[in-house]
């Protein structure tokens, strides 16, 4: 379906490999969707560690992908390519990308696109795809974490860490994590970790051994590498699984790998970006089936540390590299800010996606859905929405008990 679109858009490009200063706002042509793709008007885009690696020149996009950074977005579908049938213009969606998220418009293969979970804002939805897909496929598919098992995730205050803590806890595992300071320790334990270990002053191997009665943990999710590899193998229980997703301390390691044989351990790892559309689509379906209900019930929420305007991407990268954040960093476009403020930029269908947490998710501390509905009613939006079957006349919510 063709849409009336501008010829150019604001985007952030990597001028050359280097520090955050090489990220510069530019005007570029608006992309168009090919067969099986959708074009999304971006409201918000998540900032991830692979974006930093790409900016430094160490993680190039796969062949055929956009050269612009950005692996996840949330926004509104504005155009669909031939053969794309699940979504239509006006639908509020979030999507996993191979690149191109730091822009006002982005193209995504339809299998990698999911509806925004009810109860999540666009900013929260933009923080979901890359992180939740990564945790699901590595912890639950490759790591085979089961209810009743014990789980250690390093970097508990990162986007990956906060997601892994919540999902592992939601699926019935005991959760331990490592953090760098007392503030992060308190946050991760409030989030669901049984014990957050201060890696600068405590030996995480000794702590998890003590907490598990000398047995060790069943699964470790590691993005550190280096000397952590040997310690991870020591921390694992018999038949334990070590899942590697990054190498912040380097991928060349020295360790006593006899432990792999003696303890019958599994050491595996994966990357998400180079996988095929079919494989990413399979992960998307699993996440929608298994994780979306947790998001919509409020049991699991993306943790947002700070938002930045799209053109402030360089500052977002500086914050990420300083490792002072807890949770996710998100870039917000002018369209996204308009939607958040209830401005004219949002379509009726996109507005109606922003469900009320207070009425539908008791006690989550957001504005009442019924007041939102009454506001939209006064603005004249309700007539169009009611005709499309998406809005009913507002009712007073039941008193919370």
**DSSP 8-state code for residue 103:** B
CA distance 164 to 176: 10
Taking CA atoms, 111 is separated from 39, 80, 108, 136, 309, in Å, by 13, 13, 8, 17, 28
Q: How confident is the model at residue 361 (pLDDT cuts 50, 70, 90)?
A: very low
Q: What is the CA 280 to chain-centroid distance, rounded?
A: 14
152 band by pLDDT with thresholds 50, 70 and 90 = very high
Q: Which of 110, 109, 107, 113 minimizes the C-alpha distance to 125?
A: 113
Looking at residue 326, its pLDDT comes to: 96
The confidence score (pLDDT) of residue 2 equals 61
167 versus 348: the higher-pLDDT residue is 167
- In the chain, the percentage of residues whose pLDDT exceeds 70 is 84
Give the pLDDT score at 342: 67
pLDDT band at 1 (very low <50, low <70, confident <90, very high): low
Q: pLDDT at position 3, please?
A: 65
Give residue-wise pLDDT tens across range 293-327.
999 999 999 999 999 999 999 999 999 999 999 99
pTM, to two decimals: 0.84
Among residues 80, 106, 116, the alpha carbon closest in space to that of 288 is found at 116
Residue-wise pLDDT for 25-52, tens only, equals 999 999 999 999 999 999 999 999 999 9
235 sits in the region (left: phi over 0; alpha: psi -120 to 50; else beta) called alpha
Q: CA dist 159 to 69, 135, 176, 303, 393, Å?
A: 17, 10, 16, 7, 39
Q: Answer whether residue 386 shows pLDDT above 90.
A: no
User: What pLDDT is attached to residue 248?
Assistant: 87
Distance of CA 178 to the CA centre of its chain: 20
pLDDT greater than 80 at residue 114: yes
197 within 8 A of 168, measured Cβ to Cβ: no
Distance, in Å, from the CA atom of 159 to the CA atom of 167, rounded to the nearest integer, reads 12
343 three-state secondary structure: coil
Question: Is 80 in a helix, a strand, or coil?
Answer: strand
Q: How confident is the model over 138-148, as pLDDT tens digits?
A: 999 999 999 99
Give the Cα separation of 177 and 242 in Å (integer): 14
**273: phi > 0 → left, psi -120 to 50 → alpha, else beta; which?**
alpha
pLDDT at 249: 87
Whole-angstrom distance, CA of residue 110 vs CA of residue 394: 34
271-299 pLDDT, tens digit per residue, is 999 999 999 999 999 999 999 999 999 99
Nearest to 237 by CA among 261, 263, 211, 210: 263
Tokens of 276: 């095929």
Ordered domains of the chain (ranges, CATH): 8-128+278-336 (3.90.180.10), 132-269 (3.40.50.720), 356-388 (no CATH)
């Amino acid at each position: 379906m063709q849409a009336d679109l501008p010829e150019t858009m604001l985007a952030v490009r990597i001028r050359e490999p280097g520090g955050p200063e090489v990220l510069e706002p530019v005007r570029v042509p608006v992309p168009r969707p090919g067969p099986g793709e959708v074009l999304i008007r971006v409201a918000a885009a998540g900032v991830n560690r692979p974006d930093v690696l790409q900016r430094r020149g160490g993680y190039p996009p796969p062949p055929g992908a956009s050269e612009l950074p950005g692996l996840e977005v949330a926004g509104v579908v504005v155009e669909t390519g031939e053969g794309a049938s699940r979504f239509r213009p006006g639908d509020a969606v979030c999507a996993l990308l191979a690149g191109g998220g730091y822009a006002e418009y982005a193209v995504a293969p339809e299998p990698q696109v999911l509806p925004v979970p009810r109860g999540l804002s666009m900013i929260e939805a933009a923080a979901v795809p890359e992180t939740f897909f990564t945790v699901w496929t590595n912890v639950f598919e490759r790591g085979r974490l089961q209810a009743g098992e014990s789980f250690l995730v390093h970097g508990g205050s990162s986007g990956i860490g906060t997601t892994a803590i919540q999902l592992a806890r939601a699926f019935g595992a005991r959760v331990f994590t490592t953090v760098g300071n007392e503030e992060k320790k308190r946050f991760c334990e409030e989030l669901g970790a049984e014990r957050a270990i201060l890696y600068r002053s405590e030996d995480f191997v000794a702590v998890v051994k003590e907490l598990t009665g000398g047995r060790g943990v069943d699964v470790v999710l590691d993005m550190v590498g280096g000397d952590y590899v040997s310690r991870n193998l020591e921390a694992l229980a018999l038949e334990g699984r070590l899942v590697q997703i990054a190498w912040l301390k380097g991928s060349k390691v020295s360790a006593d790998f006899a432990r792999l044989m003696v303890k019958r351990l599994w050491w595996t790892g994966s990357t998400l970006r180079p996988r095929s559309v079919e494989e990413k689509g399979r992960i998307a379906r699993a996440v929608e089936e298994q994780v979306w209900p947790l998001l919509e019930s409020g049991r699991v929420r993306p943790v947002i540390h700070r938002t930045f305007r799209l053109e402030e991407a360089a500052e977002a990268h500086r914050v990420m590299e300083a490792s002072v954040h807890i949770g996710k960093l998100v870039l917000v476009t002018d369209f996204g800010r308009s939607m958040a403020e209830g401005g004219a930029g949002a379509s009726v269908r996109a507005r109606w996606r922003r469900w009320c947490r207070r009425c539908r998710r008791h006690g989550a501390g957001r504005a009442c859905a019924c007041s939102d509905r009454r506001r939209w009613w006064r603005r004249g939006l309700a007539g169009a929405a009611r005709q499309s079957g998406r809005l009913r006349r507002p009712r007073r919510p039941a008193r919370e008990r």
